């Protein structure tokens, strides 16, 4: 079935078109929406695009960084100031997917995808969205919890605070195919240290629930402690608590629960 | 529904076609222009055999909305050979037994060209990374990696 493609000069107009038509989807890099069209998804009858430059802007310097929703992973990788986001960006797709896939689209990518969003969740990112109600900022966790209802919302950008050091932010994607493959599980950890103790630990998991989630029990085990062997063990044993992984071709739910603690332990211990 | 006029450069030649809304670039290239070199594999971005260069950058044509390439330059395998001569990458693929069934070959060659255009003397690791979005079910990848390294080596010594 042919679809109607509407291209707008401003993100605001695109957001209006998106919110007024339930069968409209926003086309970013194409890796989700074109795939759905190729598979014959008849629920999409209108494709909305915006050529607004604001959507592809990167503000990489300073303590708080902002990425336009239309920024591709290849562009993230080309920014030296965004080195802390290179591991998650590199873990996505092959080069062609990284040239196409966008930061904003990744927020909507279902399992076993959405790895960049795992990193953003650990970094407590803010998602700027434009809906029929106007523009507003939403904490990423709240955004993800209501993701299914957000098809009519246009994401403008994401922003997060730069981690204090390389050690403070860690990322690991477990895939069966290297260097490219869907996620068995994905883990990101933000561990700010204050006076030798962890203050404000955030552990985010991918493929451990219908959306990316925080491992709150593991965070509690880390909070206020130094990152020693006993603390790491406690966090690792709590890693699967509160998760609800599914079976898919890459791994079973049982397997995911078994390995999440193992890989969290390795990530926190700085093992390869 | 009315058709949408679309103009772009295809292997150095200006083309003008009419597409239906929602048509992907792969369908436009194969069915409307008659360039059968990019293949349809998965339609999901998983296999890479539809890979083309858009303004020199590697993209998956099956996931590219055709009308987004208006005014841009598309390179496919069809434009790779230089007159009657094979491109050095094509020659290296033949010499190194890098094609068996051949279905992945157009995508592999475009991914390899995207790499060598940017990085004329890549390491083995960089070659593996460059073709990591392209699936081959015949060769086990080693002959393909060797062919790309051979083409790069030949180019460097030439």
Pick the CATH number of B88-157 from 1.10.150.120, 2.30.30.140, 3.40.50.10860, 3.40.190.10: 1.10.150.120
Residue identified by tokens 């401003």 is: A10
Helix or strand or coil: residue A176? coil
Average model confidence (pLDDT) across chain A:
95
Q: Which of residues 83-112 of B touch A (CB under 8 A)?
A: 111
- The residue among A60, A18, A248, A42 whose CA lies nearest residue A162 is A60
Along the 272 residues of chain A, how does pLDDT read in single tens digits?
689 999 999 999 999 999 889 899 999 999 999 999 999 999 999 999 999 999 999 999 899 999 999 999 999 999 999 999 999 999 999 999 999 999 999 999 999 999 999 999 999 999 999 977 788 999 999 999 988 777 778 999 999 999 999 999 999 999 998 777 899 999 999 999 999 999 999 999 999 999 999 999 999 999 999 999 999 999 999 999 999 999 999 999 999 999 999 999 999 999 87
Q: Three-state SS for B19?
A: strand
Q: Hey, is the C-beta of B76 within 8 angstroms of any chain A C-beta?
A: no
- What count of Cα atoms within 13 Å lies in the side-chain half-sphere of residue A266? 12
Dihedral sign for Cα atoms in the order A38, A43, A44, A46: positive
CATH superfamily of B4-79: Beta-grasp domain (3.10.20.30)
Subunit contact B68:A49, Cβ cutoff 8 A: yes
Residue ranges per structural domain of chain B: 4-79, 88-157
Computed on alpha carbons and rounded to an integer, the radius of gyration of chain A in Å comes to 19
- Whether chain A has a CB inside 8 Å of the CB on B65: the answer is yes
CA angle B57, B63, B66 (to 5 degrees): 80
Q: What pTM did the predictor assign?
A: 0.95
Q: Nearest by CB to B21, which of A4, A38, A179?
A: A4
Q: Is a pLDDT exceeding 60 seen at residue B158?
A: no
Return the residue of B nearest to A90 by Cα. B129
B50 interfaces chain A, CB cutoff of 8 Å: no
| Other CB atoms within 10 A of residue A145 CB | 13
Give B-chain residues touching A109 at CB under 8 angstroms.
Answer: none
B7 touches chain A (CB under 8 A): no
Query: Is A96 in contact with B133 (Cβ distance < 8 A)?
Result: yes
User: Which residues from B are below 8 Å from A3, CB to CB?
Assistant: 21-22
Angle (nearest 5°) at CA A149 between A145 and A150 = 90
């Amino acid at each position: 079935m042919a679809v109607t493609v509407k291209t707008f000069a401003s993100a605001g107009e695109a957001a209006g078109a998106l919110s007024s038509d339930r069968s409209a989807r926003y086309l970013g890099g194409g890796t989700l929406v074109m795939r759905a069209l190729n598979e014959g998804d008849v629920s999409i009858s209108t494709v909305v695009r915006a050529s607004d430059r604001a959507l592809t802007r990167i503000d990489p310097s300073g303590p708080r960084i902002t990425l336009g929703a239309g920024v591709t992973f290849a562009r993230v990788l080309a920014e030296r100031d965004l080195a802390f986001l290179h591991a998650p960006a590199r873990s996505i797709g092959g080069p062609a997917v990284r040239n196409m896939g966008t930061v904003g689209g990744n927020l909507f990518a279902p399992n076993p995808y959405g790895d960049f969003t795992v990193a953003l969740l650990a970094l407590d990112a803010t998602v700027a969205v434009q809906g029929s109600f106007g523009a507003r900022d939403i904490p990423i966790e709240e955004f993800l919890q209501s993701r299914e209802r957000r098809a009519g919302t246009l994401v403008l950008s994401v922003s997060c605070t730069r981690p204090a050091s390389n050690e403070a932010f860690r990322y690991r994607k477990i895939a069966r195919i290297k260097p490219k493959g869907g996620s068995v599980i994905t883990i990101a950890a933000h561990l700010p240290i204050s006076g030798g103790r962890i203050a404000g630990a955030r552990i985010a998991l991918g493929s451990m629930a219908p959306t990316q989630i925080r491992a709150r029990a593991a965070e509690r085990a880390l909070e206020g402690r130094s990152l020693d062997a006993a603390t790491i063990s406690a966090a690792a044993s709590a890693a699967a608590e509160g998760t609800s992984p599914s079976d898919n071709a890459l791994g079973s739910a049982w397997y995911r629960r078994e390995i999440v603690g193992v890989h969290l332990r390795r990530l926190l211990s700085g093992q390869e | 529904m009315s058709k949408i006029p679309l103009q772009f450069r295809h292997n150095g030649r200006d083309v003008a076609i009419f597409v239906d809304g929602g048509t992907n670039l792969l369908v436009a290239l194969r069915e409307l222009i008659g360039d059968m070199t990019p293949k349809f594999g998965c339609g999901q971005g998983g296999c890479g055999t539809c890979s083309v260069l858009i303004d020199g950058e590697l993209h998956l044509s099956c996931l590219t909305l055709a009308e987004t390439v208006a005014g841009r330059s598309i390179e496919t395998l069809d434009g790779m050979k230089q007159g009657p001569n094979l491109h050095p990458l094509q020659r290296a693929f033949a010499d190194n037994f890098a094609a068996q069934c051949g279905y992945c070959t157009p995508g592999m060659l475009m991914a390899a060209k995207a790499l060598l255009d940017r990085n004329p003397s890549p390491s083995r690791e960089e070659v593996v990374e460059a073709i990591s979005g392209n699936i081959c079910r015949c060769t086990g990848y080693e002959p393909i990696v060797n062919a790309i390294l051979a083409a790069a080596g030949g180019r460097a010594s030439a």
